[in-house]
Amino acid sequence: MIIFQDISKTYQIGDEKVYALNHANLHIRPGEFVSIIGPSGSGKSTMMNIMGCLDTADEGQYLLDGLPVKDCTERELTRIRSRKIGFIFQSFNLIGNMSAEENVELPLIYQKLPAKDRKSRVQDALEKVGLYDRQKHKPSQLSGGQQQRIAIARAMASEPSLYLADEPTGNLDSATGYQIMQLFHELHDRGNTIVLITHDESVAAQADRSIRMKDGHAKEVTV
């Protein structure tokens, strides 16, 4: 599913070259629930950006579903993001002036799905996160937990092959966080591949497998 081979990413800070990822290797199989854990500055976010095709590696090879992402044009990267990746962010990242329903529908519009299919998928996704009755609400009228569930519904609606969650419980209290984690477990039980980035050991422990990031290296840990 995901293979990182000697992936490196450097940033120029002043005169100094800083490695965000330093020859990282990683292998995630389809249907796995993997957590990536590490302190801030360890390269977690860079890894997620590369996995989500928002960024490309400077060195090394990234294979997504066997496809070498390195050779993709920007148009192809956009297509991969649209069809294969479902992002869930720490700060929910819903669009403020659009209703819950419209937010969930947005990726389907970018996939150029016909209106009828969009409607049934939006309804389906909202029902699965239990917020169908809130479809007309704006994000500002919803609680943090509800907003995150809408964001998960948005990812679900696009039917991605990979869910990428960046600190999904980071902005939530532990009870709400627990609910969100339950949703990820449900997704996993339905056979979806999930990569969850966190610095919370207890959240990381809920995954099948944990990968610890340190100074741009990825290391498998048994929890």
Partner 1 sequence: MITQSVKMAVTSILSNKLRSLLTMLGIIIGVMSLVVLVSLVNGATGSITDSINALGNNLLNVSISDDHDRPLKLSELSSFTEDDLFESIAPAAASTATATSAYAEESARLTGTTAAYLDIQGLELESGRFLMKPDLDNHSNVAVINADLATEVLGRTDVVGENVKFNGKRFLIIGVLKEKNTSSNNASDSTLQAYIPYTSLIRLSEDVSLNVTSFCISAAGDDMDAAERQLENILLERFGQDEDAFSIFNQSSVAEAMDSVTGTLSLLLGGIAGISLLVGGIGIMNIMLVSVTERTREIGIRKAIGAGRGTIMLQFLIEALIISLFGCFLGIAFSWIVIETVNIIGSTDYSLSSGIVLLSIAFSVGIGVLFGLYPANRAAKKNPIEALRYN
Kindly indicate which of the ranges 18-26, 33-41, 60-68, 83-91 contains the residues binding partner 1, using the contact rule CB under 8 A: 83-91
CB atoms within 10 A of CB 105: 22
* Of residues 138, 64, 142, the one with CA closest to residue 99: 138
Give the C-alpha distances (Å, rounded to integers) separating 19 from 12, 23, 24, 102.
9, 9, 11, 39
Whole-number minimum distance, CB 188 to partner 1, in Å? Answer: 21
- Binding piece for partner 1, criterion CB under 8 A, among 6-14, 20-28, 32-40, 51-59: 51-59
Residue closer to partner 1 (CB basis): 128 or 166: 166
Alpha carbon of 197 to those of 50, 163, 182, 184: distances in Å?
Answer: 13, 11, 16, 13
Rounded CA-CA distance 164/146 in Å is 19
DSSP conformation class of 179: H
Of the listed pieces 59-67, 89-97, 122-130, 139-147, which binds partner 1 according to CB under 8 A?
A: 89-97
Verify binding: residue 4, partner 1, rule CB under 8 A: no
Residue 107 makes contact with partner 1 by CB under 8 A = yes
Residue from 18, 67, 68, 78 binding partner 1 (CB under 8 A): 78
Cβ 95 to partner 1 shortest distance, Å: 5
Instruction: Please say whether the beta carbons of 70 and 62 come within 8 A.
Output: yes
**Per CB under 8 A, which region of 9-17, 62-70, 72-80, 177-185 contacts partner 1?**
72-80
Distances, alpha carbon 47 to alpha carbons 12, 103, 129, 168, 182, in Å = 17, 26, 27, 16, 24
Tell whether residue 116 is a contact of partner 1 (CB under 8 A). no
Q: Which of 35, 158, 192, 206 binds partner 1 (CB under 8 A)?
A: 158
In angstroms, the Cα distances linking 49 to 62, 87, 175 are 12, 10, 28
Q: Which of 42, 49, 135, 198 binds partner 1 (CB under 8 A)?
A: 49
* Of 83 and 209, CB closest to partner 1: 83
When the beta carbons of 81 and 134 are compared against partner 1, the nearer one is 81
Query: CB neighbours of 173 closer than 8 A, spacing ≥ 6?
Result: none
State yes or no: residue 40 binds partner 1 (CB under 8 A).
Answer: no
**Residue 139 engages partner 1 in binding (rule: CB under 8 A):** no
Helices of type H across 85-205: 100-110, 115-128, 144-157, 174-189, 201-204
Q: Which residues bind partner 1 (CB under 8 A)?
A: 49, 52, 54-55, 74-75, 78-79, 81-83, 87, 89, 93-98, 106-107, 109-112, 154, 158
